[in-house]
Structure 1
């Protein structure tokens, strides 16, 4: 058996004291990039999504030639039906060249308007078809031919019905269908002798086309509403995730703030004993400070109860982690099969204020969790350095060995949200993004002086 899988699980931990620098160009977290949908897939979506009122068919197709396709199809119908109509009316029906040309233009050219304005186009075509049926009653050879709708009229009319079904409401479609049947019924009272009646044929075929395209329109509308609701749900989910993460950070910071308030209380209470000979007004001032600090501690406990809600009884009361526990975190990640290298500057844990210490640890923790989730097995480097002004946290991982899902596009993951909120809390900056080789990076700068302005 090969040793290669076993070597993948071998710990690769390197803990260096005294590291002092981080590459200035390095920034951000752990995941994979998302490929944009290809043009054929986008075009397929456009085909399945009927046009809205006021916009042409296929208006949402990704390419210009795809958006022009309905115009081209309509033009082909006109160029084919126009000469055929004139020839058939002239030779088969012997309607006369002038009438044949006028009817051919009136019955076919409005199809060009059907791409953007199908209802007006239908009105013009129906009027032209009715006039044509009336004219054909006086034609010399109408017997033994289709009437009142010629084959060319039926083909053009069905194409027009398809455009109507994709654009108009169900009520409008029913009205169009009934008007078509009514026109045929009225013309049926005055039929020429020996004709082949095509009224029922157009009525049935028109109803079928309207039903099919209307159903497609209904599916498109339903799909659009579902997409809108999904967008609203995604926004609400993101908002809820953000609020949950802020509440979690507030619960963690309670211990940090409570520690400082306790120190203030103890110092104020012990000041008269540590500084004998203090004037009475000064004693009263220290007593007021101690009372205010105790009252603030009580308010903080009540606030923490509200933030924890149902979790208050079972809340974790263990001390909050910091940079001093990064080695344990990395070792646990290595034992899980993720190769990680750690470089921690000596004295970083002691130099960072409690809020920065906790935030830096959580940022590394979230970044490593993202690596394990979205780039398992990718080599990862963690570096923490500091200077007189800030702590620099850098987590960089290589490309994933297998295709993985995009970072936090679904589910309730708090990784990047939590990082942003913690950096925002300390007044620092966060930079995340993919690397050219397919890896990811997370870089955070946390000021050691946390008295930053309110970012809101």
Structure 2
């Protein structure tokens, strides 16, 4: 039987231990407050008959007025102090003291009142602290026997000053912690900016430098190479113009990378207004591109940027994987969805791909375009056309925050 009792006790302890471990510091503080309040109440009730002439039926109430306000020391110290001070004002008037006791209140009542005054000085607004301090000091000056009131008033003043000192110390530490947090965030931001600046330098060295060489070579080729035909000179001019446009975009991106992190949203982003420039650049490169525009709703900048990049990637893939094939770009939409279609005919040296050749349909080009569409709530499908060739179709919501349903068929 002893073993069974021991096993049962062990089981209860094992069940209670995880719950106790999950208690937070604030919950433990509340438990301590409740425990101390209960102990003081159990002391105040039986000792009340020693200090005051109180009927037996009223003694629990008077003991409660003396001890129970302590339970508000964390939730509302000002209210707890007000209840305790009101009780301290009324009790000496209503109930007479015993012959052997000359102090107006029980020791428990004085302890609770001082604890509440300290809590008020530490947590309540300063006007409330002033009222509590003056009222409590006057209460002791008026009721303490003999000349003890002056000493109590001085002690209460020192208690309030101590509470205010703790209050200001805690506030200063909080402000210091906040400043340290801000400084840490600033250090992290500076580290990010330094890394971005390093990336910008690397990109400039690796990409912008070589693009500049391409521009210089394309512009100087007609002078360095003799006997060039007009078509060859025009081709070099087209290469130079395309390279300059790419270089300008790269420099814009590098400028954003070098910024302090607060200006990228103000950096100019290519949108649908530059589709014609994109098509013109493709035509200068020798592509046959037709454009069809339908009615368009006003789009957010992010959606326009996504459509522009998808069109740019599709035209580049068509030039790379289906040279010589005619490319058709159609842009239309309504109040709900804007649709971009880029399709190339079956022709040229390779019979597919405004998006890619069959072996790279799932490559980075299609994935990147699909990710751009998804980032603004849209969808993208890419695949061979029934009559030959390849087509990319992007559907972007015209309303910010909306989503376009995934197509049932035709995705690649």
| TM-score (normalised: structure 2) | 0.49
Return the index of the structure with the highest Cα Rg.
Answer: 2
Q: Which fold has the larger relative contact order, with Cα–Cα distance below 8 Å and residues 6 or more apart in sequence?
A: 1
Question: Which structure is higher in helix share?
Answer: 2
| TM-score, normalised by the number of residues in structure 1 | 0.45
